[in-house]
Amino acid sequence: MRIRWQFLIPVIFFWGLATQALQHDSHPHMANESAGTPEWSELTSSVGKMHVAMAAIGPSGTTDIDFAKLMLPHHQAAIDMAKTQLLYGKDPQMRRLAQEIITDQQSEMQLMQLWLKQHDPQK
């Protein structure tokens, strides 16, 4: 069996990210005064969920399909983080940016989901 490195490398990369995200909480030097706040917990939880979801995706054998599947949890994390910003953020520019992120990422997710329905035989 011949290994297809072009598909194995992204899997290894995202597995490494997921492992790093899980280990992140155990590093005391990463703690700061905001680490115990609900907003910090929500932001880091969004990133952690993304890493786990991305690491669970296996290669399909088609880069286009893999790209779309990996981008979906990435976009969902951006939406979740932007919602946290709207709940807790005060700066008008950052709140406006968060709303734009939600709108744009949702639209892009719908496009990718539709594309996957049309192109992914496993869907």
Structural domain boundaries in the chain: 37-123
Question: 57 by DSSP, 3-state: which?
Answer: coil
Spatial separation of the C-alpha atoms in residues 80 and 87, rounded to whole Å: 11
In this prediction, residues 49-76 reach a mean pLDDT of 97
Query: 2 pLDDT exceeds 60?
Result: no
pLDDT for residue 122:
79
pLDDT per position as a tens digit, 48-58: 999 999 999 99
Average pLDDT over the chain reads 83
Quick one: 44 exposed, middle or buried, by C-beta within 10 A (0-12, 13-18, 19+)? middle
Confidence band for 1, pLDDT divided at 50, 70 and 90: very low
Does the pTM of the predicted model rise above 0.85? no
Higher pLDDT pick, 34 / 59: 59
